[in-house]
Amino acid sequence: MNPKIILIHPPIAKPSEPPAGIAKLAGCLKANGVNYRVIDANLEGILYLIQNTAQNNTATDRWTLRAVKNLQRNLAALRNIATYSNKSTYQRAVSDVNRLLNLAGKARGVDMSLADYHDSNLTPVKSSDLICAAEKYQDNPFYPYFETRLTDALKEGPEFIGFSLNYLSQALCTFAMIGFIKHVNPRQKIILGGSLVTSWAALGVSIDKFRGHVDEMIAGAGEQKLLELLEINDGRTNYPPDYKEFSVNQYFTPGFILPYSGSRGCYWHNCAFCPEKSEENPYLPLPVFQALEELQVLTRQTNPSLIHLLDNAISPALLKALAQETLSVPWYGFTRVTKHLADDDFCLALKKSGCVMLKLGIESGDEAVLDSLNKGIDLPTASAVLKSLKKAGIATYCYFLFGTPPETKASAMKTLDFAIEHHDCIDFLNLAIFNLPAGSIEAKSLETQDFYEGDLSLYKNFQHPQGWHRPVVRNFLEKTFKKHPAIAPIAQRMPEFFTSNHAPFFVLNKAY
């Protein structure tokens, strides 16, 4: 039976786990008896390009020759847990694989990696450039892959083809694929959804920007809108994800990673400059018992090596339930710094349940900055949390944010001091420079300029009240923060390209 709809995950995103959004849509369609197909064009396209580059290589430099010679060995290494016991072995494998993908992009004027995509002539924050990418689809590095793949898909005669667009790194490739489809079959109905589309819609971007290329644009959760388009009336609001079409694929990980979310939105929802707040995304949690039941069923179905909890912040209620429920595989996710994580017994219970790593948004080592940003956390609690997690044997992946409007260099130095004091409790560091969300209420009180020249830009540049501008912040991070003897080993520990997606495997292997 031909599919009613084909759902596509476009390049480029980290090829480490299946797309959770499409899996949710697949679960909805399956529950309603709709015949569908899914295409992980990101994974398939990356594999196609690196293998094609290896087969047709003409370069003679030592790095490329080594990458070509060892391609299959390197792919096997990234899928073998033993590789994650040695950072240098891992680093060589991932860098060599990335080398081949990068060469495939350079041949068409594109700088791309296993995690990002930059075109020297087109930007994803301009709707005119996205239309250009659609009209000149042959110029896209993935064209040799998707010409055949999409031609075969179109032969199945789907009523709809849907693209899940979540990251800027996917935008140009998404529109190149759309352009090809519309060239082959101008009557084919195209649906565009995903978190990036949701953010565009919050800025007032409508389908008129892409008229002639996109037939439907869906902001937010797509299940109900998809059912409306398919003329199906179903009163349910939640469908368990279906990973059947993805679990056989060969991601760049040792075993299948099961992504799962027990909620939509953020339960805190009070941070200054938060896109969730400015986009007015509601917090919609599943009942805890239902989330645990779905996790158990999905674990039996997919036999994962790792569970990735995708919640913006795992709620205290779900964490408490997880602490009482031993999952059969290790898991990790993002959580807020809260007092219950400062309890040694609670952290030990989480460890016994399978928790291998928690991502924590500490953001700043200056209490005044945290208060100004309404983070709802305090440094004594953050300190106690890090120590309790360390004692329990749960790794920490800590986020610090620099260059926010209330921060000064003195504040940043306090953050450095905090990180130094707790360096033995921090396993991984994510050091980010603040981007001002264009739609945030707080942006109105700042002198702003366009961050990027484009009608789809989600961020604004701004005059920092204290002169703590991006170039100065970047210099501080590179020359001062990362160079400190207590911090440098932590910064160097970060897995290249895959960052937090691969970090748990190093923890499981006790690689440091």
Cβ(187)–Cβ(178) below 8 Å = no
What DSSP string runs through 352-416? HHTEEEEEEEEE-S-HHHHHHTT----HHHHHHHHHHHHHHT-EEEEEEEE--TT--HHHHHHHH
Say what the pLDDT of residue 80 is.
96
CA distance 308 to 276: 21
Average pLDDT over residues 16-41: 95
**pLDDT digits 0-9 by tens, 456-489:** 988 888 888 888 999 999 999 999 999 999 999 9
pTM of the entire predicted model: 0.95
Q: 409, 398, 404: which is closest to 475 by C-alpha?
A: 409
Asked if pLDDT for residue 436 goes beyond 80, the answer is yes
Say what the pLDDT of residue 55 is.
95
Cβ(398)–Cβ(362) below 8 Å = yes
Asked if pLDDT for residue 508 goes beyond 90, the answer is yes
What type of residue is 255?
A: G
What confidence category does residue 278 fall into, taking pLDDT thresholds of 50, 70 and 90?
low
Say what the pLDDT of residue 273 is.
77
More confident residue, 19 or 461: 19
C-alpha distances out from residue 232 to 115, 228, 262, Å: 37, 6, 25
What confidence category does residue 279 fall into, taking pLDDT thresholds of 50, 70 and 90?
low
- Tokens 């339960």 locate to 267
CA distance 19 to 42: 10
Question: What per-residue string of b and e applies to 325-340 under the rule 16 or more CB within 10 Å gives b?
Answer: eebebbbbbbbbbbee
Q: Which residues pair with 263 in a beta bridge?
A: 285
Asked if pLDDT for residue 246 goes beyond 90, the answer is no
CA distance 156 to 143: 20
Q: List helix spans (H) across 399-499.
A: 409-421, 470-476, 488-492
pLDDT over 90 for what percent of the chain? 80
Say what the pLDDT of residue 459 is.
86
More confident residue, 438 or 406: 406
Q: Torsions phi, psi of 335, nearest 5?
A: -140, 155
What residues contact 183, with CB distance under 8 A and at least 6 apart?
137
User: To which H or E segment does residue 301 belong?
Assistant: helix 288-302
**pLDDT digits 0-9 by tens, 134-181:** 999 999 999 999 999 999 999 999 999 999 999 999 999 999 999 999
The answer to which of 18-32, 167-181, 264-278 has the lowest mean pLDDT is 264-278
Asked if pLDDT for residue 215 goes beyond 80, the answer is yes
Question: Strand 355-363 vs strand 459-462: parallel, antiparallel, or unpaired?
Answer: unpaired
C-alpha angle 43/140/63, rounded to 5°?
A: 65
Q: 376, 392, 378: which is closest to 425 by C-alpha?
A: 392
Q: Torsions phi, psi of 109, nearest 5?
A: 75, 25
Q: What is the biggest distance separating any 2 CA atoms in the chain, rounded to whole angstroms?
A: 65
- Tokens 């913006």 locate to 312
What residues contact 285, with CB distance under 8 A and at least 6 apart?
262, 263, 264, 267, 315, 317, 318
Q: Torsions phi, psi of 357, nearest 5?
A: -160, 140
Q: 255, 368, 320, 317: which is closest to 18 by C-alpha?
A: 255
- Whether the link from the prior residue into 12 is cis, omega within 30° of 0, is yes
Q: Torsions phi, psi of 376, nearest 5?
A: 75, 25
Average pLDDT over residues 3-7: 94
More confident residue, 482 or 245: 482
Say what the pLDDT of residue 398 is.
98
**pLDDT digits 0-9 by tens, 78-98:** 999 999 999 999 999 999 999
Which residue ranges make up each domain of the chain?
A: 1-231, 257-508
Asked if pLDDT for residue 327 goes beyond 80, the answer is yes
List, edge to edge, every strand of the sheet that includes 216-217.
36-40, 5-9, 160-164, 189-193, 216-217
- Domain with residues 257-508, CATH architecture: Alpha-Beta Horseshoe (3.80)
Say what the pLDDT of residue 352 is.
95
Q: Give the chain's mean pLDDT.
A: 93
What DSSP string runs through 132-152? HHHHTGGGSTTHHHHHHHHHH
Question: Strand 117-119 vs strand 110-112: parallel, antiparallel, or unpaired?
Answer: antiparallel
Average pLDDT over residues 2-31: 95
Say what the pLDDT of residue 452 is.
66
Helix (H, G, I), strand (E, B), or coil: what is residue 512? coil
Say what the pLDDT of residue 438 is.
79
Helix (H, G, I), strand (E, B), or coil: what is residue 39? strand
Average pLDDT over residues 201-222: 91
